[in-house]
């Protein structure tokens, strides 16, 4: 079990609770490669019955067939869901589609205002998600300019900030929030692999061996195709990758630490292809 709940995460939870009453809709951003592992169960608990939109971000890095099945799965749960890729320059149609979905989710609140004689059609939207899931990149692309910090590491957004989107939508960006502990070590591994958890939490060699085990079992052929090694025991695989790449220390021993760091970097860069790590429930 991995314990991971730094002080700023607890502060973020309080911040969300305090500001939830100010918004009409909540957009939850998750990683399309981890459609369930990257969903923070605390968010459902905090948000309650507030209208929501679930965005499967980084869809370009996930396997398309899996993404289609995940979209169908969440729709069957009554969840409004949309696959998305915030890293690219969002086309006009994609942007309009997302903003329309947000306004649709706010329709009950807008109708309530009309009945009360309130002429305010501005929709207030809160965006939530775990660290490094692409919230800042999505916001910058929706606006068309950089207004929030981005970075390929968790914890870039530190405080709340309001920004105006098209169609009279005011968006409240919140810092990423992780949950207090991961009961399932596999979930922790998946989050570490994609960068939601800082490197220090996991030993890179241990993490790489877990990732190799996952790929050998679930995505056979990926490792052989790239590294030209047999897919057997994960440690043997890493040893052979090191030997082929020339990561050798004194006495001819493989530099497993270096090999592990390179393997993780190449995996994160998509060198092993699109990988969805969460299986759709049957």
Instruction: Name every residue whose Cβ is closer than 8 Å to that of residue 8 and which is 6 or more positions away in sequence.
Output: 155, 158, 175
Query: Once rounded to an integer, what is the mean pLDDT over residues 246-257?
Result: 94
CATH code of the region 2-181: 3.40.50.300
Percent pLDDT > 70 in the chain is: 85
Residue 162, strand partner residues: 172
Query: Once rounded to an integer, what is the mean pLDDT over residues 28-34?
Result: 94
Q: Where are the domains of the chain?
A: 2-181, 203-268
- Residue 136, pLDDT score: 83
Nearest to 165 by CA among 27, 28, 30: 27
- Residue 18, pLDDT score: 86
**Are 187 and 41 in contact, with CB atoms under 8 Å apart?**
no
Collapse the DSSP code of 57 into the 3-class scheme (helix H, G, I; strand E, B; otherwise coil) and give the result: strand
Residue 143, strand partner residues: none
Burial class (CB in 10 A: 0-12, 13-18, 19+), 95: middle
Collapse the DSSP code of 42 into the 3-class scheme (helix H, G, I; strand E, B; otherwise coil) and give the result: helix
Pick the CATH number of 203-268 from 1.10.1580.10, 2.60.40.10, 1.10.760.10, 1.10.10.10: 1.10.1580.10
pLDDT band at 45 (very low <50, low <70, confident <90, very high): confident
Q: Is the pTM of this model over 0.95?
A: no
pLDDT band at 155 (very low <50, low <70, confident <90, very high): very low
Measured from the Cβ of residue 64, the count of other Cβ atoms closer than 10 Å reads 13
pLDDT tens digits along 52-69: 999 999 999 999 999 999
Measured from the Cβ of residue 183, the count of other Cβ atoms closer than 10 Å reads 9
User: Does the structure show a pLDDT above 50 at 243?
Assistant: yes
User: Does the structure show a pLDDT above 60 at 272?
Assistant: yes
User: Does the structure show a pLDDT above 70 at 10?
Assistant: no
**Are 268 and 195 in contact, with CB atoms under 8 Å apart?**
yes
Residue 169 sits at φ, ψ, to 5 deg, of -120, 120
- Residue 152, pLDDT score: 43
pLDDT band at 1 (very low <50, low <70, confident <90, very high): very low
* 2-181 matches 203-268 in fold: no
Measured from the Cβ of residue 170, the count of other Cβ atoms closer than 10 Å reads 16
pLDDT band at 178 (very low <50, low <70, confident <90, very high): low
Query: Once rounded to an integer, what is the mean pLDDT over residues 120-140?
Result: 88
Distance CA 60, CA 156 (A): 22
Residue 212 sits at φ, ψ, to 5 deg, of -60, -45
User: Does the structure show a pLDDT above 60 at 156?
Assistant: no
- Residue 150, pLDDT score: 43
221-238 per-residue burial string, b: 16 or more CB within 10 A, e: under 16: ebbeeebebebeebeebb
């Amino acid at each position: 079990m991995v314990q991971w709940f730094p002080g700023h995460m607890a502060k973020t939870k309080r911040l969300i609770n305090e500001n939830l009453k100010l918004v009409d809709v909540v957009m939850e951003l998750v990683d399309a490669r981890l459609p369930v592992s990257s969903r923070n169960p605390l968010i459902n608990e905090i948000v309650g019955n507030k209208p929501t939109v679930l965005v499967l971000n980084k869809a370009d890095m996930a396997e398309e067939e899996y993404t289609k099945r995940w979209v169908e799965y969440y729709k069957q749960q009554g969840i409004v869901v949309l696959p998305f890729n915030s890293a690219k320059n969002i086309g006009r149609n994609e942007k309009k589609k997302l903003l329309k979905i947000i306004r649709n989710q706010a329709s009950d609140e807008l109708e309530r205002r009309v009945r009360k004689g309130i002429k305010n059609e501005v929709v207030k939207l809160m965006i939530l998600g775990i660290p490094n899931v692409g919230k800042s990149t999505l916001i910058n692309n929706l606006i068309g300019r950089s207004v929030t910090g981005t970075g390929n590491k968790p914890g870039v957004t530190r405080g709340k900030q309001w920004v105006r989107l098209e169609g009279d939508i005011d968006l409240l960006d919140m810092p990423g929030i992780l949950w207090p502990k991961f009961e399932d070590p596999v979930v922790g591994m998946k989050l570490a692999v994609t960068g939601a958890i800082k490197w220090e939490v996991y030993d890179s060699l241990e993490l790489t061996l877990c990732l190799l085990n996952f790929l050998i079992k679930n995505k056979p052929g990926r490792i052989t195709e790239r590294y030209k090694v047999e897919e057997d025991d994960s440690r043997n695989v890493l040893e052979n990758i090191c030997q082929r790449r020339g990561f050798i220390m004194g006495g001819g021993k493989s530099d497993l630490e270096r090999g592990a760091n390179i393997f993780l970097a190449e995996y994160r860069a998509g060198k092993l292809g699109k990988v969805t790590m969460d299986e759709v429930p049957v």
